[in-house]
Structure 1
Amino acid sequence: MSVNARRLAAATLATGVIAGLVGLACIHLLHWIQALAWDMHGGTLLEAASAVSPTRRILVLTLGGVIGALSWFLLFRRNKAITSVSAAVSGTPMPPLRATWHALTQVLIVGLGASVGREVAPREMAAAFSAAAADRLGLSAEDRRIIVACGAGAGLAAVYSIPLSGAVYTLEILLVSRSGRAVAPAFLTSGIAVLISTGFTRPAPFYTVPTLTPSLSLTVFGALVGPLLGAAGWAFKQAVARVGAARPRDWRLLLTLPAAFLVVGLIASRLPSVLGNGQASAQTQFDATWAAGAGLAFAALVLAAKTLTTFLTIRAGGWGGVLTPAVALGAGLGAVIGLPWAAAWPGSEVAAFAFIGAAAFLGASMNAPFTGLILVIEFTAQGPTILVPAVLAVGGATAATTWLTRHAR
């Protein structure tokens, strides 16, 4: 084994351990914050938030806005730049302490109910510390690139216990590579990270979804609606980029973020499913307990409210992920379109339409169809029974995003 190969092997092991510890720390910190803020000692955030008073929801969200505003105002006081994971993979320095400060602020506000995802935090921290380890080991530029990407993917894997998704995310999005030198570290680091963060047994799925039933109705739905879901995912990605570029990084943060969180709190006082990283909203769509009652109107209301609160949080100066919010929005679209479809052409439950919506929308919003589909499968521990309609939907969504991207230039 050559010197470079030995160094890469050592870096792979170190990166897996780093990402696992980062994911473990983020999990426990989030749970501690949610227990303190929402008296959440088990179950889901939606259950805990629904059990407290509407006034408490408003106060907790407003507090989150104040704390987030102060933290980011101090972080940006002298340096307003934030190194993204993709930039770090390309070689831009990512100071570990600054990345940790930025990441922990995200975990804090998500724990307090912010309407953004928590997945960026472990990706940034794991990437930053993996880059430092790669520099310490003296890796070549290309091997360093691989290890930093693996750190980010393994951080994602560790915090949600999704080892396959973490590896595919690394290869499809960050490295765009299938070489053996990239594939082996991607899988090994994700596996090691999940082993450290959650152990070798599979925890409960992130979303509780019933066994999904295949049908001709669902298959035709996937084939026909896939491009529409892809166009929506593409539009979501463009909108997030525009809104994110306009968010304040100066004294205005001290005004806009608390005000935005107050608005989110007011909405949550009536509709607690908008709270958090999107799990509550998506779970509402997967459960479809509303189908026999308010039905389509309630599904559309949850979808609109989650969209509004996510964009409001980002525009006001909040930072966080949009992966799980995208799952929530995609599941909402699938449910909103799928409910009347299933009424007109029975055969599959609404949860199956929500699953297809989530997979196609997420893949389009990330421009990564394999990652999107595998993420939703691992998040729900469902999907193999409806792979044909799901693949048709993802394929149509990918075709739509490709066409839109080409014609938008």
Structure 2
Amino acid sequence: MPPERPPAGRATPRWLVRLVVVTALVGVGAGIGGGLVYLGLHTLQHLAFGYSEGDFYQGLLQAPPVSRVVALAVAGVVGAVGWWLLRRWGRRVPAHAVVSVEQAVGGRRMPPFATLANAALQVVIVGLGASIGREVAPREIGALWAGWLAERAGVSARERRILIACGAGAGLAAVYNVPFGGAVFAVEILLAEVSFATVLPAFATSAIAALVARVVVPANPLYALPPLHPTATVVVFSLLAGPLVGFAAVGFVRAARFAQNHRPRSWTILIVMPVTFIAVGIAALWLPAILGNGRALGQLAFAASVPVVVILVTTIVKAGSTIATIGAGAAGGTLTPSLAIGAGLGLAGGAAWSLLWPGAALPAFALIGAAAFLAVTMRAPLTALILAMEFTGQGTDLLVPVMLCVAGAVAVGYLLERTRVTGVA
């Protein structure tokens, strides 16, 4: 039975209660979905590389190097066959084609089987080491669940749009334990509207989802960093580095967009994806941190635990392998790869800067670069800033230099994209 509409702009108790219940259920479902994605991903990683303790990067180092190539080969075959069948079915039966979260927020209905199959394939390939983000899968599951609930509750088109965006943000919040970032993602990126009607359900759903997912998702930050403090050299670096990071991020975005537009559209994916994945696996024999969704590279950059030259080379190869993975036809995100690439570039730039003006911890430069690079690739400075802080567990001490670098990077990104669209460049 559809909810009673508020007459003359006034909310009835029944309408409010039902909307509150639906909002809470969106958070619970997104939390369960995010927790399942986390479990599936880590189970596959442990099985593929044969480790029982430690993180993914430690598991890669403990496993025989050939396992990196074998795992990527399996991922390439599974992904190629799965997406070829899924997309072929979608072309023949358009009602069952994969619908993105953005399209769902715009009003399209997400088909359950295609959406879940698309999410499952992403979990499988990332779990086996594919160089692409995992965040799209929980967002799709959260949005699918929210859309289904909205239909059953009979809410208005605007309420449905808000709930789907909140479900997607809650899925992100759940899988990474970033409740604030998930909420802001829904409001800033998917809805592009800051109002009581959008902020309240976004906060509620992301908070509930993060709490539910904490049954399996660790409550600690994704990256362990020491407390960082601003110094004069860090502030000046952030001013100078912002435009440079912006140039690099725009280059990455354009390359990824080109790869996406030229990915295999037919049976050729059955050849292109396995070959590409095997090539990435071979590169990982020397640079294991390029594998996975970017956490391994992020750990190296934030800890500065290996020579900076190695991290810089790994960063460049990681960017190339992520673009190649997208171009091979894989679905997935670039959130955590972008964060890791930005951290690697920030660390390398900070190490060079410290030769001229010492006095700052290298992880500070990595965090600044990560936030700025992510802000440009997401086209969402506020979301990127909050995610970078939640991922690293940092407080407000480093906000000023991070914000300065983000502002410079986003300004350059905006100008470059604007000139590209208008044809002035």
Q: 5+ unaligned residues in a row in structure 1: which ranges? A: none
Q: 2:99 aligns with which of 80, 83, 102?
A: 83
Contact 2:252 2:319 in 1 (8 A): no
Contact 2:39 2:216 in 1 (8 A): no
Structure 1 residues 183-235: Cα deviation after superposition (integer angstroms, max 9, x where no partner):
11000000000110005997222112222232100000111211221232233
Q: What is residue 360 of structure 1 aligned with on the other side? A: 372
Contact 1:231 1:364 in 2 (8 A): no
RMSD: 1.5
SS in 2 for 1:77: helix
Q: What is residue 304 of structure 1 aligned with on the other side? A: 316
Contact 1:217 1:345 in 2 (8 A): yes
Contact 1:330 1:358 in 2 (8 A): yes
Letter in 1 for 2:46: A
Contact 1:205 1:379 in 2 (8 A): yes
- Which stretch shifts more, 381-390 or 260-269? 381-390
Structure 1 position 62 matched with structure 2 position 78: no
CA 1:45 to 1:406, structure 2 compared with 1: closer, same or farther past 3 Å? same
Identity of aligned residues (%): 44
Q: 5+ unaligned residues in a row in structure 2: which ranges? A: 1-10, 92-96
Q: What is residue 39 of structure 1 aligned with on the other side? A: 50
Contact 2:175 2:217 in 1 (8 A): no
Counterpart-to-counterpart distance in 2, 1:202 and 1:75: 33
Q: What is residue 29 of structure 2 aligned with on the other side? A: 18
SS in 1 for 2:79: helix
Per the TM alignment, residue 24 of structure 1 is displaced from its structure 2 partner at its CA by 1.0
Per the TM alignment, residue 15 of structure 1 is displaced from its structure 2 partner at its CA by 0.5
Counterpart-to-counterpart distance in 1, 2:376 and 2:53: 33
Structure 1 position 104 matched with structure 2 position 120: yes
Structure 1 residues 92-151: Cα deviation after superposition (integer angstroms, max 9, x where no partner):
111122100000100010000000010000001110121011011001010000000000
Structure 1 position 207 matched with structure 2 position 198: no
Counterpart-to-counterpart distance in 2, 1:269 and 1:316: 20
In the TM superposition, 1:317-356 aligns within 5 A as 317-356=329-368
Report the TM-score when normalising by structure 1.
0.96
Counterpart-to-counterpart distance in 2, 1:134 and 1:249: 33
Counterpart-to-counterpart distance in 2, 1:239 and 1:285: 23
Letter in 1 for 2:89: R
Report the TM-score when normalising by structure 2.
0.92
SS in 1 for 2:145: helix
In the TM superposition, 1:392-403 aligns within 5 A as 392-403=404-415
Counterpart-to-counterpart distance in 2, 1:42 and 1:363: 33
Q: What is residue 394 of structure 2 aligned with on the other side? A: 382
Structure 1 residues 279-301: Cα deviation after superposition (integer angstroms, max 9, x where no partner):
0011111111224xxx3x21221
Contact 1:72 1:249 in 2 (8 A): no
In the TM superposition, 1:177-256 aligns within 5 A as 177-198=193-214, 203-256=219-272
Letter in 2 for 1:371: T
Per the TM alignment, residue 338 of structure 1 is displaced from its structure 2 partner at its CA by 1.0
Letter in 1 for 2:87: F
- Which stretch shifts more, 80-89 or 369-378? 80-89
Structure 1 residues 17-66: Cα deviation after superposition (integer angstroms, max 9, x where no partner):
11011011111111211111112323211100111111111111111111
Per the TM alignment, residue 365 of structure 1 is displaced from its structure 2 partner at its CA by 0.8
Q: 2:288 aligns with which of 256, 272, 286?
A: 272
Contact 2:222 2:392 in 1 (8 A): yes
Structure 1 residues 282-336: Cα deviation after superposition (integer angstroms, max 9, x where no partner):
1111111224xxx3x2122111110111011111111111000000111111012
CA 1:333 to 1:383, structure 2 compared with 1: closer, same or farther past 3 Å? farther
Q: What is residue 167 of structure 1 aligned with on the other side? A: 183
Q: Relative contact order (C-alpha < 8 Å, sep 6+): which is higher?
A: 1
